[in-house]
Structure formats: C-alpha cells, structure tokens
Amino acid sequence: MKRALVNGAGGFIGSHLVRRLKHEGFWVRGVDLKDPEFSSSAADEFILGDLTDPVMAAAAVDGIDDVYQLAADMGGAGYIFTGEHDAAVMHNSATINLNVVDAGRKAGVKRVFYSSSACIYPEYNQKDADKPNCAEESAYPAAPDSEYGWEKLFSERLYMAYARNYGLEVHIARFHNIFGPEGTWHGGREKAPAAICRKVAEAAEGGEIEMWGDGLQTRSFLYIDECLEGVRRLMESEFQGPVNIGSEEMVSINGLAEMAMRIAGKRLRIRHIPGPLGVRGRNSDNRLIRAKLGWAPSRPLEEGLRSTYVWVEAQVRAAVAEPAGAARG
C-alpha cells in the first residue's frame, strides 16, 4: 500500500485531502500543530507536531512515498494583508518548507506536492478588476503584494532546485481561493466566501452586512472537491508546474455577497467599510492546466457556495444555541 504524508492535515484543505487519499486506498499520516477543527481526522496516523522543528520534519517523512506539503502560517486578508503577521508568516512557512524538502530528500521520498498560491502573481498585473493577468509565466518579474506571496515564490523555487539538483519529483500548484464546508468561518483567519456566508447567516432579513472596500474588487473561488481533483491529477502526471488550480468564473465581492443572499433567501444592504483588500482583480488562467492535464475545474460557483452556506449557517445556529463562547472556543 502506498504511504502518503499530509502536512497541514489539521487545516482546511489538508483534512479534506486526507479523506480523499483514504478513499483512494492510501495509507495516510497527517501532521499538524492542531487536530482538524470540525471533524476527526481520517488519517491512519496523526502526529501533533511542529514542522519548524527539523526533528519533527524528519519523523514526519519517515517511511513515506508521497508528501503533500500544505502546512503554512496563513489566513484570509485579515491575517495576511494587515502587515502584523509578516515576520511570522515568512519565518514559519519558509522554515517548514526548508525542513520538509531536506528531510524528504534524505529519507528518499519519491514525490512531493507543494501548495503555492495565486498570491505570488505581480501586483502590477492585477490592478484592473476586469482584466487581471494570472498566466503562469507572468509571475516574473516578481512583485507579489504580500510577504505571504514572496514566501510562496521562494518555496516554489526551493522545491524546483531540489528537483534539479537531487532528482526529487516535485509537483507545484498555485491555488486560487479554495473554499467549502469545514473551512475557517470566524476568528480572523476566515476568507471571503466563509466570512460572507457567516455575515449573511447572522443578519436578520432586511438588515445589513459589512464588507471591506467597495466590493468591486474581483476574484474567483474554487470548491474544495475540484481543488483535490486537480491536486491528485497533477501528482499522478509528469508535469512539475507551477500550474494554477483555480476557477475561471470571476465575480466581484459584491456579486459573491448577492449570490449568498440569494441562496439564503434574504435581502440585505451592504455597508462598505475600510479594511485590508489585496489586489484589485484576480482570476485563474486555466490554459496551462488544460493543455498539460487535459482537465480544468468546471463546477459553477453557485453550487459550491450553496453547500458552503448550508454548512456555515449550521455553525452559526449551533454557536447561538450553545452557551456564550463555547462553540467559538
């Protein structure tokens, strides 16, 4: 039986990936600082450990064929774009990647998947909300708008250097805003779809929700199941990447909020307030993934948002029903 390691298995994408790999018949080890928040891990073995510690990284890769390296110090705009966490984001995530790739090489792992991000793309190509350029080759000359993006770019190059010099098989994806049930929905690290679902679920009919910025900034959002499909197809392919794994269905943040309201059956006003925003426009460009893998995500945003809304609304209801603070622990 093939043995897979998922680093970041207590996080949103990692916990779903563990489930997917188990379905496919892998033996799976998960490593994270924390257990998954919303359900127990499906991993055969789950190690609570800190991958900034090289001893832990060596223990994690021991006896492993395939590594999925998703562990990172990250969050939504409220975490990444305020500047307050820059040093921690760069130091922690870079240290994790340095430890994992080197331990993996020494342990003789066969393949490594690395989750990079659309945040590596230059700010100068994403100033127009209607026509952002996120083709893979547009990454250079580099000018990400956050330290999070710079660290991801450094680590992409780190994995490619290990492939070049040590023959390690690596596969690198640039994720574009992955969302779905069992993602962080409150507390400061949540991202736009979950935050909007929460605000809509909490608001009374005819009330209002707050939104950072004018809501005209654009993004695309990819449902978790399609993200995992892309990861698995990339890992089984000959293609190293980096390649975008994202949706090409671009919406404004106002449009996303209106979609959530439609799903909830509520009419609400949007109050625009100052807040951290990121780039003006961003969309996945799927020409390369289509050409290399003969596949690209295709599921409509509204379908995924519906499943996510149902899940977030249930969390909101449970939090209201429980004694103050218990559900948000």
Check residue 14 for interaction with ligand NAD (CB under 6 A).
yes
Candidates 170-178, 203-211, 252-260, 280-288; binding stretch for ligand NAD (CB under 6 A): 170-178
Check residue 92 for interaction with ligand NAD (CB under 6 A).
yes
Check residue 13 for interaction with ligand NAD (CB under 6 A).
yes
SS3 37: coil
Helices marked H in 125-252: 147-166, 192-202, 224-236
DSSP for 248-315? ---EEHHHHHHHHHHHHT---EEEEE------SB-----HHHHHHHS------HHHHHHHHHHHHHHH
The two three-digit tokens of residue 52, written as one number: 């900034």
Which among 148, 162, 223, 309 is annotated as catalytic? Answer: 148
SS3 71: coil
Candidates 6-14, 155-163, 208-216, 303-311; binding stretch for ligand NAD (CB under 6 A): 6-14
Compute the distance between CA of residue 113 and CA of residue 66 in angstroms, rounded to an integer: 8
* φ and ψ at residue 222, rounded to 5 degrees: -115, 130
Check residue 52 for interaction with ligand NAD (CB under 6 A).
yes
In the region spanning residues 95 to 124, those forming contacts with ligand NAD, defined by CB under 6 A, are 96, 115, 117
Candidates 5-13, 123-131, 158-166, 235-243; binding stretch for ligand NAD (CB under 6 A): 5-13
Check residue 311 for interaction with ligand NAD (CB under 6 A).
no
Compute the distance between CA of residue 237 and CA of residue 228 in angstroms, rounded to an integer: 14
- Cα–Cα separations (whole angstroms), residue 32 to 8, 189, 203: 5, 17, 34
**Closer to ligand NAD at the Cβ: 53 or 272?**
53
Asked whether 120 and 93 are in contact (CB, 8 A), the reply is: no
CB of 17 to ligand NAD, least distance (A): 9
**Closer to ligand NAD at the Cβ: 80 or 203?**
80
Asked whether 144 and 153 are in contact (CB, 8 A), the reply is: yes
In the region spanning residues 18 to 37, those forming contacts with ligand NAD, defined by CB under 6 A, are 31-34
Compute the distance between CA of residue 11 and CA of residue 70 in angstroms, rounded to an integer: 9
Check residue 182 for interaction with ligand NAD (CB under 6 A).
no
Check residue 151 for interaction with ligand NAD (CB under 6 A).
no
Q: Closest residue to ligand NAD, Cβ-based?
A: 11
Q: Which of 42, 178, 264, 268 binds ligand NAD (CB under 6 A)?
A: 178
Candidates 97-105, 171-179, 250-258, 282-290; binding stretch for ligand NAD (CB under 6 A): 171-179
Beta bridge partner(s), residue 264: none
CB of 164 to ligand NAD, least distance (A): 22
CB of 235 to ligand NAD, least distance (A): 14
122 CA to centre of own chain: 19
Q: Catalytic site residue 68? A: no
Candidates 154-162, 175-183, 254-262, 306-314; binding stretch for ligand NAD (CB under 6 A): 175-183
Question: In this structure, what DSSP letter does residue 136 have?
Answer: G
Asked whether 132 and 281 are in contact (CB, 8 A), the reply is: yes
- Cα–Cα separations (whole angstroms), residue 21 to 30, 35, 230: 11, 18, 13
Catalytically active residues, by annotation:
148
**Residues contributing to the site for ligand NAD (CB under 6 A):** 8, 10-14, 31-34, 50-52, 70-74, 92, 96, 115, 117, 175, 177-178, 191
